[in-house]
Amino acid sequence: MAAAGLSLFLIMRAFASGCTAMTGVEAIANGVQAFKEPAANNARRTLTWMAGILLFLFLGTSALAVLTRVTPDVVLVAGQPETVETIVSQLARGIFGTGFLYYMLQAGTALILVLAANTSYADFPRLGSFMAGNGYLPKQLKDRGSRLVYSNGMILLTAMSILLLVAFGGETSRLIPLYAIGVFMSFTLSQSGMVVHWWRNREPGWHWSAFVNGLGAVTTFVVLIVLAVAKFTSGAWIVLLLIPILVGYFEWVKRAYRRSAVRVALPQEEELEFSYRSKTQMHNHVMILFSTIDRRLVRAVQYARTIKADVTEGLFVDVTGDKAASVRADWNRLELGYPLTVIDSPYREIIDPIRDYVCSIPRPTHDHVVTVIMPEYVPERAAEYMLHDQVSFWIKSALTQIPGVILSDVPYHPEEYLTDKPAPCRGGGAGPTV
């Protein structure tokens, strides 16, 4: 009885392994939109040819392996099986020897594997775009880049692939269970969803379509169970644990987007309040944050004079304890027309004193805001960026978290003042396509 059960398990395990070899054809179904019209017919024809070629190669290789009694050459390394020579290599060596044709076959096999690796880059970014469009993944994955590809999805996939390769040492025997479990779970869910689709819509011929999809769902579910049991200790447990976590993350993203949409929505009863006929005005407290009195400050003051504000002041943080007097003297000498506030920082902190001072400004209603103007020097050469500190970045990151605070950068380009004419625009190339 035990032998019969063991034989059945071995048969099911072999069946599951064979099904794993057939994966990859789903790439056609995921990329139907990429085909020329009629897209469905072209995709169906391509899928048929791909499945036929794969079946021919798989059955042919299996038959040759059985007839020649070739098995993978495997040795144990640190207690783990490691393939020394594959069946394809042994067959090629037995048929062609170790000459030119042998290496051509090996090179062709490597190219096929490279092409297979490209499948994920063709499908995951597109799938991520679909999910992002439905609100289950960050919206950065939804849009195409300037090269008309889903660049963010490719970057994410590359980062995760590198992480997996490092974590598993690049051993395919440990990575395949991760791949197989996810593939057959998605097969089972998608075909089950199609059964529900046929049942709800009752289109002509739906009985046969529902039967085919139902049979496929049962088959892939059996493969999923066999793989989960047979490969559980080989890494399948990671996927079985990770998938519920991912589903929870998808739901969290959806709820977060839904909550954000509700909070920023403009109700009809509030539309008149913000129209041009509204008497509501915003009260603005403007402060010019600076570290040195120079041309950057002058440019920031010129910009501040264009802003309608209730209060405008300068703000300086004295982190050394000996600059307050000289800064006040220079400020008064320039006669900028605005009062100056100097914050002493005996512990040489910059961000916390600025944040505390901004928070101390009274805001009776949400129509009272604080605008922080920050003059910044823009180097003429990219290599010079590392020569300047990035304190302004951390200040902006901290102030962004405070409600009612508006940040305004005033970049100073030195080449702008070398001649009487404005400096030409030096853009950084095409931006993202939206």
Tens digits of residue pLDDT in 378-431? 887 777 877 777 888 899 999 999 999 999 999 988 877 777 677 677 655 444
State the Cα–Cα distance between residues 151 and 154, nearest whole angstrom.
5
**Per-residue model confidence (pLDDT) at position 428:** 54
Q: How confident is the model at residue 306 (pLDDT cuts 50, 70, 90)?
A: very high
**Per-residue model confidence (pLDDT) at position 86:** 78
Q: Hey, which residues does 368 pair with through a beta bridge? A: 283
The answer to whether residues 15 and 226 touch, using CB atoms and an 8 Å cutoff, is yes
Structure tokens belonging to residue 427: 């853009």
Across 61-159, the runs of DSSP E, i.e. the strands, are: 73-77, 80-85
Q: What is the pLDDT of residues 189-202, one digit of tens each?
A: 888 999 999 999 88
Q: What percent of the chain has pLDDT over 70?
A: 84
**Per-residue model confidence (pLDDT) at position 238:** 80
State the Cα–Cα distance between residues 288 and 396, nearest whole angstrom.
13
Return the H-helix or E-strand segment holding 409.
Answer: strand 405-412
State the Cα–Cα distance between residues 60 and 158, nearest whole angstrom.
34
**Per-residue model confidence (pLDDT) at position 433:** 42
Domains of the chain: residue spans and CATH: 277-417 (3.40.50)
Q: What would the mean pLDDT of 175-201 be, rounded to a whole number?
A: 85
- Judged by DSSP in three states, 362 sits in coil
Question: How far is Cα of residue 397 from the mean position of the Cα atoms in its chain?
Answer: 22
State the Cα–Cα distance between residues 153 and 122, nearest whole angstrom.
10
Q: What would the mean pLDDT of 304-325 be, rounded to a whole number?
A: 92
Preceding omega of 38 cis (within 30 degrees of 0): yes
Of residues 191 and 272, the one with the higher pLDDT is 191
State the Cα–Cα distance between residues 316 and 241, nearest whole angstrom.
53
Q: What is the pLDDT of residues 89-121, one digit of tens each?
A: 888 888 888 888 888 988 988 888 787 777 788
Residue 432 has pLDDT above 50, yes or no: no
Structure tokens belonging to residue 182: 């996810």
Burial 311-329 (b: 16+ CB within 10 A, else e): ebebbbbbbeeeebeebee
State the Cα–Cα distance between residues 393 and 378, nearest whole angstrom.
13
For helices 2-21 and 172-201, what crossing angle results, to 10°?
80
The answer to whether residues 356 and 395 touch, using CB atoms and an 8 Å cutoff, is no
- Residue with token string 């440990």: 174
Q: What percent of the chain has pLDDT over 90?
A: 29
Angle at 197 between CA 196 and CA 198, to 5 degrees: 95
Q: Tell me which of 70-84, 205-219, 394-408 is least confident.
A: 70-84
Q: Which amino acid is at 207?
A: H
- Residue with token string 């402060």: 287
Return the H-helix or E-strand segment holding 287.
Answer: strand 283-289
State the Cα–Cα distance between residues 392 and 387, nearest whole angstrom.
14
The answer to whether residues 431 and 146 touch, using CB atoms and an 8 Å cutoff, is yes
State the Cα–Cα distance between residues 271 and 278, nearest whole angstrom.
10
Across 293-339, the runs of DSSP E, i.e. the strands, are: 311-318
